[in-house]
Amino acid sequence: MKVFYRFLKVVYVLILLFGLLIGWITWVSNSPGNYTTYTYKVICDDGKEFDPTSKPIDTEYMGDSTPLFFNPKQIRSECKYGTAYYVGLNIPDNYELINIPHEHGTGSKSQQIQNTLITLVVYYLIIEALKRTFIYIFYGKSFITLKHK
């Protein structure tokens, strides 16, 4: 029975160490971060202004935190003719594209700390309930006071 009791102690310590891993994962996954979004504005040589995302202009995604790439032929056509469908014509550059970045933040350090502490407390309570259940089953001690009945 002594070997079994030692084995349970080792398993209990490993479960507590696993709790530290869960705490670390919670800490890392709730870390505050920043991301960038963009709004776009095209200013044509004739003074016309428009948002290219509101027109049927092809875009190409270039990756996170980088602005979209717009088809320049379609923008030139939109500026000259008011439609993005005259792309076969040779139209010289007649516009300026402005990318306006907007920085956004997610989470805060206090939220990160709060979430990690809540996770660790809940984990500890579950482990403690399991430990007391095993002690009740194997040793017949009271679940609440851990004293013999």
pLDDT of residue 53: 87
Token representation of residue 47:
């003074």
For the segment 107-142, what is each residue's pLDDT rounded down to a tens digit? 899 999 999 999 999 999 999 898 888 888 877 777
pLDDT of residue 72: 86
HSE-CB of 76 using CA atoms within 13 angstroms = 12
The dihedrals phi and psi of 142, each to the nearest 5 degrees, come to: -60, 140
Q: Is 71 helix (H, G, I), strand (E, B) or coil?
A: coil
CA 110/CA 100 separation, integer angstroms? 30
Residue 93 pLDDT class (50, 70, 90 cuts):
confident
**Mean pLDDT, all residues of the chain:** 87
pLDDT of residue 118: 96
For the segment 9-67, what is each residue's pLDDT rounded down to a tens digit? 898 899 999 999 999 999 999 999 888 888 999 999 999 999 998 888 888 887 777 78
Whole-model pTM?
Answer: 0.59
- In this prediction, what percent of the chain has a pLDDT beyond 90? 38
pLDDT of residue 74: 87
Residue position matching structure tokens 């009791």: 5
CA 8/CA 16 separation, integer angstroms? 12
